[in-house]
Structure 1
Amino acid sequence: MNEMRDPIVDADLDAYVDDQLDASRRIEVEAYLSGSPEAAARVMSDLRVRGELRLALAGPKGMARPATGDAARRLERGLARRRFVGSLQRVAAIAVFVAVGWMAHAGFGPLVISEVVASTPPPDYVNDAVMSHRTTALRASMASQPAVPDYDPDEIRAATAIVMPGLPKDWQVTDVQLFPSKFGPSVEMAIKTEKLGAVSLFAVRPGTFDVVKPTVADMQDVTAAYFQIGEVAYALVAKADARDLDRAASQLSDTLY
């Protein structure tokens, strides 16, 4: 699947209903709707209303009462007015944001947006990866919970259908565990590295087929670099520099092609 060019906004949904998008953007909108039930329900409702309007307005003379046609025209104008007002609201919001930005620039100097902050929330499996990372750290502090450093990628693949990426030679696996998740079995691997320190490599099948390039997300006390190839998603979690973690995730991703 191609990477989405821009986030899907209400204007894209309205243009989709009005059949004003090119083929590539329609595909992106449809992919978004497949994972957003509320947005999909709204779009289907608008499409139904639009279809009923066209049927009422384009039908042969005599098939509908004049009052029905007038009501349909008023409803169509109402839909157009709602979208126009929505567009004005978005423009106003952008204007306010720009004004606040200039005021902050004047008062506090230039604003710098960190590359770590993602434009959209990370997938749910990243939260599972962070939780597994913390659980692994807790297990490591308990004498009654011995680590399992034996790592057999072929056995993991046979048991979970999860293909693990190739690891750099200087990375030392200290523990490998299977954890339950809302998506099914997941693999949590604790690794000791020289540059990144202690890291966790999390892998799971999220139930969707996609290709997501390594993306860094700030998860409060840790940083995660996540990516997906086909049916398996991965997250590298550590208390490390975001750029270093991003490069490491890219190296792992490359081994899967």
Structure 2
Amino acid sequence: MMDTWLTNGKDEGADGGSPTVFIVDDDCSVRTALDCLLRSVGVRVRSFGSPDEFLKSKIPDEVPGCIVLDVRFPGQSGFHLQNEINRMEFPIPIVFLTGYADTRMTVKAMKAGAIDFLNKPFREEDMLDAIAQAINCHRARLSTAKNVKRVRARYDLLTPREREVFAYVATGMLNKQIAEELDISEYTVKIHRKNAMEKMEAANIVDLIRQATTLGLAVHAAQPEGMANGTANGASNRDKPSSAVSNGTEYDCTFE
């Protein structure tokens, strides 16, 4: 229920901002009813009569929230706003609300990432549960994005050689193996490895691998029994380090 994400009106993981629900519906009576419902449980609310009005407003980028969005508007569709929201750096989860639902419409909304699709008139408990799930989803997205930014900022401090060593260490290679791969001395590998650990603020190798995973680098996986030095039948089982680093803009929320 609502107390799973409402913490005295303030969200500790969102730069001091309170979770906010944005109501986008051209029916004034619906906006009023939702406003009263949400404020009665201590939730901040902002209401808009159309998708264009919402898009022209100043929306905080790093405060958890969700949008309760009607599907039908004069001359446009709520799906248009959903498409625009999905282009944002931190997409705000959407709970659709409509009096004219059909299966095709519901499937379209859910495939595009909607948290829920509720019919008018809605049950208050269903609405509050959907909003709580949406707020949790957005909070997770923001938390993941902030973590990626922190790790990327550390990664940007590494020299090109330190990045190479870091990537190989993450795949589980020993210093000697890395030295052979890069055609440098084992002592030099140790120096680069030490520097990489310090710059990445990694307490241990597990922490370093965790950060490599955050960045999208190939990481070490447990070898099946009988595999020696990552090879079997002469075939290498070691992934090459990836040159691509995640930009941290993709998130996954578990929908019920």
TM-score category by the smaller chain? under 0.3
Higher relative contact order (CA 8 A, sep 6+): 2
What TM-score results when the alignment is normalised by the length of structure 1? 0.24
Task: Point out the structure with the larger strand share.
Answer: 1
What TM-score results when the alignment is normalised by the length of structure 2? 0.24
